[in-house]
Amino acid sequence: MAKRSRDSGGLAANPPALLRWATSKALNRITNPHHVQRRRAKVERQRQRAGEPHVVEYFHQVDDGYSHLAAQLLTPLLDAYDVELVCHLVPAQAGPNAPEPDLLARLSRYDAGKIAPHYALTFPEAAAPQPALTQTAQRVLAGAPDARAFARAAPLAGQAIWSGAEDALRTLANGHTPADATSTDRAIAAGAARRSSLGHYSGAMFYYGKEWYWGVDRLHHLERRLADLGARKPGAEWLAPRPDVETGPLQDDGSLTLEIYASIRSPYTAMVFDVALDLARRTGVRAVVRPVLPMVMRGVPATRAKGVYIFTDAAREAAAHGVEWGNFYDPIGEPALRCYALYPWAVRQGRGVALLSAFLRAAFMEGVNTNTAAGLRHVVEQAGLDWPEARSRLDRSTPSNTPEEIEANRLAMYELGLWGVPSFRLVDASGETTLAVWGQDRLWLVSREIQRLLRLRRLGAAAP
């Protein structure tokens, strides 16, 4: 999808004032911490009244890199928590929730390989698994007699297909009787239907008590919730604590460059934008911000289920990391375009980054309606810019649907195999890309790569 962006038009891309207000109110309500706690308490009361165990459902996509990492924690999850595990096989994402399936498949392999060692997990360096091996692995897992058997077999099956080890997969199949092709297809269809009925679309997903947790990256949220409910077994250690963003001890001299691909309507961008800039500042790395249009405005579809999950997950992530959050007023459409129309002028004033930061803070943390003159004035002045001049510039021009610089940034992002925000590219002194990753939950990986490169440089300088 590297063709030119297009404004998708319609209510989603530029809603009328009343719909913008209503959507903002609804999202603020469902992500409000008090609302979340009341919902969780209700779920727990219902569980206790029914005398049911803590049931965690897991949705496994055999040829997904993230699922392979999650599968390695299924047995540890059963050992560490008093839960009943229900495992489902699911197919790859499809339809409007999977705008770039080929890129996603490649990214899952690259990204899983990068993060695995930091979680004490493994991921073999591999190309896409052979379809025949994938089908065999699905049959093996579909034939697992219970969750324990599935939990034991899933990581071994993944290791076999990702490594191309057909013999290992045949050996694994001898552990229990694999399902036949028809039964396997039925199991995958049932898993997909169950996932859809609960409101999700992805693999490597854990579901507990009306909330979703994605792979190893969100397992710490589930662990905390289960621990708060008394389901953590005595002496159990945390399975997947999130690594911290490291800002030292080594400092760069500006030879490394951190490119930050950001959208001013992205909740994940909003929560990490200033943190990413702070990382660059505190480590001496040169930061280059490359804004792109919001996905909906560049023709990337999104269902309501996906939108709700993104906003609720971002709020949960922000709370866990102590980031100010919780007062959202949707800036999709004209507000975003007007901000981007002012961006080149702000850059010339040395305030481009300040403008984006002020806009994100206003839209996601201060509840400012950036679709009004008063709201945009607040953003401009918070960025240290002159409002009369900004207003004059907007009055003299009609913002383009896709400003050329913004479009160029999107194309550059696609060249890296990425299509969402925030994305990060770390470039070394020779201009080579050393890391290209997507997600606010990859900033810790960027920080560790910075320190790795600086250690290598120091060792090189110390060599005779």
Is pLDDT above 60 for 388?
yes
pLDDT in tens, 401-457: 567 889 999 999 999 999 999 999 999 999 999 999 999 999 999 999 999 999 999
**CA–CA gap between residue 19 and residue 119 (Å, rounded):** 42
Is pLDDT above 70 for 2?
no
Confidence of residue 461 (pLDDT cuts 50, 70, 90): low
260 forms bridges with which residues in the sheet? 289, 424
Tell me the C-alpha to C-alpha distance, in Å, between residue 181 and each of 129, 132, 142.
Answer: 19, 12, 10
In the chain, the percentage of residues whose pLDDT exceeds 90 is 80
- Minimum mean pLDDT range among 195-199, 323-327, 346-350: 323-327
**Average pLDDT along the chain:** 92
131-142 helix and 166-173 helix, angle to the nearest 10 degrees: 20
**CA–CA gap between residue 172 and residue 177 (Å, rounded):** 10
> What is the reported pLDDT for 338?
94
Phi-psi region of 311 (alpha: psi -120 to 50; beta: other; left: phi over 0): alpha
Top-level class of domain 257-452? alpha beta
- What is the mean predicted confidence (pLDDT) over 119-143? 91
**135 burial level (CB within 10 Å; 0-12, 13-18, 19+):** middle
DSSP string, 145-200: SSHHHHHHHHHHHHHHHHHT-HHHHHHHHTTSPPPPHHHHHHHHHHHHHHHHHHT-
> What is the reported pLDDT for 86?
98
In this structure, are residues 383 and 351 in contact, taking their beta carbons and an 8 Å threshold?
yes
> What is the reported pLDDT for 303?
83
Higher per-residue confidence, 101 vs 224? 224
Is pLDDT above 60 for 387?
yes
- What is the mean predicted confidence (pLDDT) over 344-353? 96
> What is the reported pLDDT for 462?
56
Phi-psi region of 231 (alpha: psi -120 to 50; beta: other; left: phi over 0): alpha
Is pLDDT above 70 for 5?
no
What count of residues does the chain have?
464
pLDDT in tens, 284-332: 999 999 999 998 887 777 788 888 999 999 999 998 888 888 899 999 9
The residue among 459, 447, 458 whose CA lies nearest residue 284 is 447
In this structure, are residues 23 and 374 in contact, taking their beta carbons and an 8 Å threshold?
no
Percent helix / strand / coil, the chain, rounded to 5: 55, 10, 35
> What is the reported pLDDT for 8?
41
In this structure, are residues 213 and 222 in contact, taking their beta carbons and an 8 Å threshold?
yes
- What is the mean predicted confidence (pLDDT) over 39-59? 98
> What is the reported pLDDT for 166?
83
The answer to whether 53-228 and 257-452 have equal CATH topology is yes
> What is the reported pLDDT for 196?
95
Tell me the C-alpha to C-alpha distance, in Å, between residue 213 and each of 127, 218, 223, 316.
Answer: 27, 5, 10, 10
Q: Residue 147: CB partners within 8 Å, gap ≥ 6?
A: 74, 78, 84, 85, 86, 87
Q: What's 375's DSSP letter?
A: H
53-228 CATH fold: Glutaredoxin (3.40.30)
In the chain, the percentage of residues whose pLDDT exceeds 70 is 95
Is pLDDT above 70 for 1?
no
**CA–CA gap between residue 357 and residue 339 (Å, rounded):** 11
Distance of CA 120 to the CA centre of its chain: 20
Ordered by start, the domain boundaries in the chain are: 53-228, 257-452
Q: Residue 67: CB partners within 8 Å, gap ≥ 6?
A: 60, 61, 158, 203, 204, 215
- What is the mean predicted confidence (pLDDT) over 99-112? 92
Confidence of residue 194 (pLDDT cuts 50, 70, 90): very high
